[in-house]
Structure 1
Amino acid sequence: MRLLVVSDSHGDQDILIELIKIYQGKVDEMIHCGDSELAETDSVWKDMKSVKGNMDFDQSYPLLQTKEIGQEKIIWLHGHLHDVKKSMQTLLFTAKEAQANFAFFGHTHELGVEMMDGILVLNPGSILLPRGAHKIKTYAIVETTKDTIQVSYYDRLHRPIEELECSFARV
């Protein structure tokens, strides 16, 4: 399985179109974790699946999306209703309740990834307004094999950020 995960594009439709052109047919799913600030009817959503963020005023967006690909179950949400700026506990509870093994979120504009109770919890960072220790505009590619989960972050020019690459062994 190979996934593209992006978040917090805040009105920048051009970068989403660019990502679609580059990754269409090369990933199993293109995921947006909210705060696109685009209409839910925008043409980018034909190829990319999004959720409602706190800055998305179009009420048509779902608050949570799920996807099953083979044996993998993925959830994604924005995170503002799960208080992700303070703790991952509500997000982790939601992922466990959904029996997901991947949980993706945005909202904080800070990239990060960790394995929590067997669930890969990932924030791709913001593709427009990054915050935190890594002030780089980023998105993530998540790839799985039978034995590993590989996470790679890319900058806005689609260059890999090697120091942020990480791999998790399957349990």
Structure 2
Amino acid sequence: MVTRFIIMSDSHGDRGIVEDIKARYQGKVAALFHNGDSELDASDSLWDGIHVVKGNCDWTAFPERVITTIDGVTIAQTHGHLYAINYGWTRLNYWAEEAGADICLYGHLHVPAADMRDGCLFVNPGSISQPRGLIQERLYAILDIYPDHFHIEYLDRNHQPYPDLTRDIKR
């Protein structure tokens, strides 16, 4: 059995791309996640069916962190700024451990990343609107969860894979 998640972050006011990703995947995946900095109103019906957290550029009533369990997998989701992710992993790693997370989703850095730390997979989908760092592509992520590994793939706004980032990580 494979569980599939769609993960996006840092759309910064671009409602259209969130709407496009939602329309493409809702009802076809186990869950959709937005890791903050949407700059959209929390009462927008766009968020129905999407797990969303508040980023440092969001000024409405999104939760700052969410812990969800789907198909026996515990997901800790936050934007990352509250855990000083710009300066290191310690605080975010402690929170994920405290939450009993199998997966920790975060954003804020606008840089795609997938790393296993202390038995937890940390995933940043990059920014769907404003990339930073070496990879200047606007991306979101698909995470497939298998019994023995995670498969992560990053896609651009045209839903085409960015193959250099595709990888399998042992659980």
Q: TM (normalized to structure 1)?
A: 0.97
Q: How does 1:21-170 map to 2 (within 5 A)?
A: 21-58=23-60, 60-170=61-171
Percent identity, aligned pairs only, is: 38
Deviations, residues 34-55 of structure 1 (Å, cap 9, x unaligned): 0000000011110212111110
Measure how far apart 1:101 and its partner are: 0.8
Structure 1 segments of 4+ aligned residues over 4 angstroms from their partners = none
CA distance in 2, matches of 1:31, 1:16: 10
CA distance in 2, matches of 1:28, 1:142: 10
1:76 is paired with a residue of what secondary structure?
strand
Measure how far apart 1:71 and its partner are: 2.0
Q: Which runs of 5+ in 1 are unaligned?
A: none
Q: TM (normalized to structure 2)?
A: 0.97
Deviations, residues 105-160 of structure 1 (Å, cap 9, x unaligned): 01111111100011000110000000011111000011011111100000111001
Matched residues, number:
169
CA distance in 2, matches of 1:129, 1:13: 14
